[in-house]
A = this chain, B = another copy of it.
Amino acid sequence: MEIKEMLLQVQRGTITVEEAEAELKDLPFKDLGYAKLDYHRKLRSGFPETVFCQGKPDEYLGRIFKELYERNGEVMGTRASAEQYQLVKELLPEAVYDPISHIIKAQREAKKLEGCVAVLTGGTADVPVAEEAAQTAEFFGCYVERIYDVGVAGIHRLLSQRERFQKANCVVAVAGMEGALGTVAAGLVENPVIAVPTSVGYGASFHGLSALLTMLNSCANGISVVNIDNGYGAGYLATQINRLALK
């Protein structure tokens, strides 16, 4: 349809061949050489591009943040070290850093938080991953309910908080070790549960593999899984679901 419209305009002469060609060939990203910043992403998906900081060379990092901030009026980066924050801050003084979630962010104006996403953790050691999820969802405009240290070994702790997460449009269940939190939570709610295995544990937890397998094999319904320690992915997906519910 769009193509037809353009072709008709070419035929009519309302746009030139060169304009049409440019449009058809236009690159929806900015090429920095070492990186291709995706400016159309916000239009396409409703989410601006986010920076995965871990492993990014120092010389590129600051510039990527700055470019994205200037274009989008906001920028968020995950898995950032305190050293990386210092580098970013030099170029982008608006940036702030949270040492628990390892998130750097800058936002020209505060967003209104809407709907509801609940974030649960099995233990205290899962909190950093949970905060990555929670702050991601908040950055994208979700209201977040945090319910931490409600692992299934003491099931009364989870049950006592039931009302708080049953009302959420999406529940993010973050747990390491044996990772059963997602299954029990999914049995108690009506809406989707996103399970995030964490690398918390030792021995046969194999850096999160045990929790991952537990979650994939959940005998509950309405549960899906993201990568080990992937709080960002869970927060992003929870936002998509929350937005659908708000529409």
* Cβ < 8 Å to B, chain A residues 4-38: 4, 7-8, 10-11, 13, 17, 20-21, 24-25, 27-29, 33-36, 38
CB distance from A72 to the nearest CB of B (A): 15
Which stretch in A81-89, A90-98, A102-110, A213-221 binds the other chain? A213-221
Interface string of A209-229 (1 = CB under 8 A from B): 111111111111111111111
For A211, the chain B residues whose CB sits under 8 A away are: 217
CB distance from A167 to the nearest CB of B (A): 13
* Cβ < 8 Å to B, chain A residues 165-184: 169, 177-180, 183-184
For A199, the chain B residues whose CB sits under 8 A away are: 203
Interface string of A119-152 (1 = CB under 8 A from B): 0001111010000000000000000000011111
Number of copies: 8
For A221, the chain B residues whose CB sits under 8 A away are: 45, 47, 50, 153, 233, 236-237
CB-defined A-B contacts under 8 Å, sample of 8: A10-B10, A152-B219, A152-B220, A191-B240, A204-B228, A205-B227, A210-B213, A223-B226
Q: Which residues on A are within 8 Å of B, measured CB to CB?
A: 3-4, 7-8, 10-11, 13, 17, 20-21, 24-25, 27-29, 33-36, 38, 40-41, 44-47, 50, 54-57, 60, 122-125, 127, 148-157, 159-160, 169, 177-180, 183-184, 186-192, 194, 197, 199-230, 233-234, 236-237, 240-241, 244-245, 247
